[in-house]
Amino acid sequence: MAKIQVEFGAIAQTARHGVVLVDENSQKICTPLMVDVPPMASNPHLELAAGLIWAPAEVKEFHFRGKVSESVVRHWEKALGVVIECEEGSDTYQRNGYTDLSVTAQNRIQETTPGRDETLIYLLPSERFYGSMRGVKEVLMATNSWLFGEDRGAAAEIALGTVFADDLMARSIKTEREMSPEFAERIESILEPLSIDLRVGVK
Protein backbone atom coordinates (compact mmCIF):
# COMPACT_ATOMS: atom_id res chain seq x y z
CA MET A 1 0.00 0.00 0.00
CA ALA A 2 1.27 3.49 -0.85
CA LYS A 3 2.18 6.21 1.64
CA ILE A 4 -0.93 7.44 3.46
CA GLN A 5 -1.60 11.04 4.45
CA VAL A 6 -3.11 11.43 7.94
CA GLU A 7 -5.33 14.48 8.36
CA PHE A 8 -7.56 15.82 11.09
CA GLY A 9 -9.66 18.88 10.37
CA ALA A 10 -12.71 20.26 8.67
CA ILE A 11 -14.17 17.98 6.02
CA ALA A 12 -14.86 19.87 2.81
CA GLN A 13 -18.43 21.07 2.20
CA THR A 14 -19.68 19.75 5.54
CA ALA A 15 -19.94 21.14 9.05
CA ARG A 16 -17.95 18.18 10.33
CA HIS A 17 -14.39 17.48 11.32
CA GLY A 18 -12.70 14.14 11.15
CA VAL A 19 -9.81 11.74 10.92
CA VAL A 20 -9.19 11.25 7.21
CA LEU A 21 -6.70 8.88 5.58
CA VAL A 22 -5.92 9.45 1.90
CA ASP A 23 -3.47 7.92 -0.56
CA GLU A 24 -1.07 9.74 -2.88
CA ASN A 25 -3.95 10.36 -5.31
CA SER A 26 -6.05 11.99 -2.55
CA GLN A 27 -8.38 8.99 -2.52
CA LYS A 28 -9.79 7.98 0.87
CA ILE A 29 -8.57 4.50 1.87
CA CYS A 30 -11.32 3.98 4.47
CA THR A 31 -14.41 5.73 5.76
CA PRO A 32 -13.44 8.97 7.56
CA LEU A 33 -14.13 9.06 11.29
CA MET A 34 -16.31 12.14 11.58
CA VAL A 35 -17.46 14.29 14.48
CA ASP A 36 -19.47 17.52 14.60
CA VAL A 37 -17.01 19.50 16.73
CA PRO A 38 -13.21 19.83 16.87
CA PRO A 39 -11.29 19.90 20.15
CA MET A 40 -10.78 23.34 21.66
CA ALA A 41 -7.01 23.07 21.27
CA SER A 42 -5.11 21.39 18.46
CA ASN A 43 -2.40 18.89 19.40
CA PRO A 44 -0.58 17.25 16.47
CA HIS A 45 0.59 14.34 18.64
CA LEU A 46 -3.01 13.44 19.48
CA GLU A 47 -4.21 13.97 15.90
CA LEU A 48 -1.53 11.71 14.41
CA ALA A 49 -2.15 9.11 17.13
CA ALA A 50 -5.85 9.09 16.24
CA GLY A 51 -4.90 8.53 12.59
CA LEU A 52 -2.64 5.61 13.52
CA ILE A 53 -5.44 4.08 15.61
CA TRP A 54 -7.96 4.52 12.79
CA ALA A 55 -5.68 3.31 9.99
CA PRO A 56 -5.98 -0.27 8.74
CA ALA A 57 -3.17 -2.42 10.15
CA GLU A 58 -1.74 -3.07 6.68
CA VAL A 59 -0.78 0.59 6.22
CA LYS A 60 2.97 0.85 6.81
CA GLU A 61 3.91 4.34 5.54
CA PHE A 62 2.39 7.56 6.86
CA HIS A 63 2.76 11.25 6.11
CA PHE A 64 1.55 13.94 8.50
CA ARG A 65 1.63 17.73 8.11
CA GLY A 66 2.50 18.63 11.66
CA LYS A 67 5.35 18.80 14.14
CA VAL A 68 5.72 15.71 16.33
CA SER A 69 8.40 14.88 18.88
CA GLU A 70 11.24 12.76 17.54
CA SER A 71 11.04 10.34 20.47
CA VAL A 72 7.32 9.77 19.90
CA VAL A 73 7.80 9.16 16.17
CA ARG A 74 10.61 6.68 16.82
CA HIS A 75 8.51 4.85 19.41
CA TRP A 76 5.60 4.47 16.98
CA GLU A 77 7.84 3.37 14.13
CA LYS A 78 9.47 0.67 16.26
CA ALA A 79 6.29 -0.52 18.02
CA LEU A 80 4.11 -0.60 14.90
CA GLY A 81 6.70 -1.47 12.25
CA VAL A 82 5.83 1.62 10.22
CA VAL A 83 7.54 4.63 8.66
CA ILE A 84 6.25 8.09 9.61
CA GLU A 85 7.19 11.17 7.63
CA CYS A 86 6.49 14.45 9.42
CA GLU A 87 8.16 17.58 10.71
CA GLU A 88 10.01 16.45 13.83
CA GLY A 89 9.84 18.59 16.94
CA SER A 90 11.84 18.47 20.17
CA ASP A 91 13.59 15.28 21.24
CA THR A 92 11.07 14.54 24.00
CA TYR A 93 7.37 15.02 24.60
CA GLN A 94 5.45 15.13 27.84
CA ARG A 95 1.79 15.72 28.58
CA ASN A 96 -0.02 15.59 31.88
CA GLY A 97 -3.32 13.83 32.44
CA TYR A 98 -5.50 13.91 35.51
CA THR A 99 -8.82 12.29 34.59
CA ASP A 100 -10.10 8.89 33.55
CA LEU A 101 -12.03 9.50 30.34
CA SER A 102 -14.92 7.20 29.41
CA VAL A 103 -16.18 7.20 25.83
CA THR A 104 -19.68 5.82 25.47
CA ALA A 105 -22.38 5.42 22.85
CA GLN A 106 -25.11 5.37 25.49
CA ASN A 107 -27.61 8.15 24.80
CA ARG A 108 -28.75 8.57 28.41
CA ILE A 109 -26.91 11.39 30.17
CA GLN A 110 -25.93 10.79 33.77
CA GLU A 111 -28.05 12.68 36.28
CA THR A 112 -25.01 13.96 38.15
CA THR A 113 -21.67 15.44 37.13
CA PRO A 114 -18.96 12.79 36.72
CA GLY A 115 -17.09 12.05 39.94
CA ARG A 116 -13.67 13.18 41.03
CA ASP A 117 -11.05 12.73 38.28
CA GLU A 118 -13.69 11.38 35.86
CA THR A 119 -14.73 12.78 32.46
CA LEU A 120 -17.13 11.59 29.77
CA ILE A 121 -17.65 11.74 26.03
CA TYR A 122 -21.08 10.77 24.76
CA LEU A 123 -21.08 9.76 21.09
CA LEU A 124 -24.46 10.43 19.51
CA PRO A 125 -25.38 8.77 16.18
CA SER A 126 -25.14 11.26 13.33
CA GLU A 127 -28.10 9.57 11.63
CA ARG A 128 -30.31 11.13 14.34
CA PHE A 129 -28.43 14.10 15.81
CA TYR A 130 -26.08 16.88 14.81
CA GLY A 131 -23.94 19.36 16.68
CA SER A 132 -22.44 19.15 20.14
CA MET A 133 -22.82 20.31 23.72
CA ARG A 134 -20.19 20.73 26.41
CA GLY A 135 -20.54 20.39 30.15
CA VAL A 136 -18.06 21.01 32.92
CA LYS A 137 -16.60 17.50 32.59
CA GLU A 138 -18.57 16.11 29.66
CA VAL A 139 -18.86 16.48 25.90
CA LEU A 140 -21.80 15.27 23.82
CA MET A 141 -21.21 15.14 20.07
CA ALA A 142 -22.68 13.65 16.97
CA THR A 143 -20.41 11.25 15.10
CA ASN A 144 -20.49 8.44 12.56
CA SER A 145 -18.81 6.03 15.00
CA TRP A 146 -22.12 4.12 15.28
CA LEU A 147 -21.49 2.74 11.78
CA PHE A 148 -18.64 0.51 12.89
CA GLY A 149 -18.68 -2.78 14.79
CA GLU A 150 -16.24 -4.89 16.77
CA ASP A 151 -12.60 -3.69 16.63
CA ARG A 152 -13.38 -0.78 14.29
CA GLY A 153 -16.06 0.52 16.63
CA ALA A 154 -13.68 0.36 19.59
CA ALA A 155 -10.98 2.06 17.49
CA ALA A 156 -13.43 4.85 16.65
CA GLU A 157 -14.20 5.47 20.31
CA ILE A 158 -10.54 5.41 21.38
CA ALA A 159 -9.44 7.59 18.44
CA LEU A 160 -12.03 10.24 19.28
CA GLY A 161 -11.11 10.04 22.95
CA THR A 162 -7.49 10.59 21.95
CA VAL A 163 -8.28 13.69 19.88
CA PHE A 164 -10.11 15.19 22.87
CA ALA A 165 -7.64 13.95 25.52
CA ASP A 166 -6.15 17.40 26.17
CA ASP A 167 -9.57 19.09 26.38
CA LEU A 168 -10.54 16.63 29.11
CA MET A 169 -7.05 16.21 30.64
CA ALA A 170 -7.23 12.44 30.15
CA ARG A 171 -4.71 10.07 31.65
CA SER A 172 -6.72 7.03 30.53
CA ILE A 173 -9.40 6.28 27.95
CA LYS A 174 -12.07 3.65 28.48
CA THR A 175 -14.32 2.02 25.90
CA GLU A 176 -17.13 -0.34 26.86
CA ARG A 177 -16.66 -2.23 23.59
CA GLU A 178 -14.61 -5.39 23.47
CA MET A 179 -11.62 -5.73 21.14
CA SER A 180 -9.19 -8.47 20.27
CA PRO A 181 -6.03 -8.71 22.42
CA GLU A 182 -3.86 -8.05 19.37
CA PHE A 183 -5.77 -4.89 18.51
CA ALA A 184 -5.71 -3.69 22.12
CA GLU A 185 -1.93 -4.21 22.22
CA ARG A 186 -1.53 -2.11 19.07
CA ILE A 187 -3.57 0.75 20.50
CA GLU A 188 -1.74 0.59 23.83
CA SER A 189 1.56 1.02 21.98
CA ILE A 190 0.18 4.13 20.25
CA LEU A 191 -1.10 5.68 23.47
CA GLU A 192 1.94 4.85 25.61
CA PRO A 193 4.19 7.84 24.66
CA LEU A 194 1.18 10.15 25.18
CA SER A 195 0.90 9.07 28.83
CA ILE A 196 -2.58 7.62 28.21
CA ASP A 197 -3.66 4.20 29.47
CA LEU A 198 -6.23 2.07 27.64
CA ARG A 199 -9.13 0.46 29.47
CA VAL A 200 -11.32 -1.96 27.51
CA GLY A 201 -14.69 -3.56 28.09
CA VAL A 202 -15.19 -2.10 31.57
CA LYS A 203 -18.85 -1.47 32.40
Q: How far apart are CA 6 and CA 17, in angstroms?
A: 13
Q: Give the count of beta carbons closer than 10 Å to the beta carbon of residue 141.
A: 23
Taking alpha carbons only, the member of 56, 57, 87 closest to residue 73 is 87
State the average pLDDT for the chain. Answer: 92
Mean pLDDT score, 41-52: 95
For 121-134, how does the pLDDT look when each residue is reduced to its tens digit (9 = 90+)?
999 999 899 999 99
The per-residue pLDDT for range 166-201, each reduced to its tens digit, is 999 999 999 988 888 999 999 999 999 999 999 987
Which one, of 31, 28, 40, lies nearest residue 4 by Cα?
28
Q: Is the pLDDT of residue 160 over 90?
A: yes
Average pLDDT over residues 49-72: 95
Q: What is the pLDDT of residue 5?
A: 95
pLDDT (tens digit per residue) in 68-77? 999 999 999 9
Residues 6+ apart with CB under 8 A from 122: 104, 105, 106, 107, 109, 138, 139, 140, 141
**pLDDT value of residue 74:** 96
Residue 69's pLDDT is 96
What is the distance between the alpha carbons of residues 78 and 33, in angstroms, rounded to a whole number?
Answer: 26
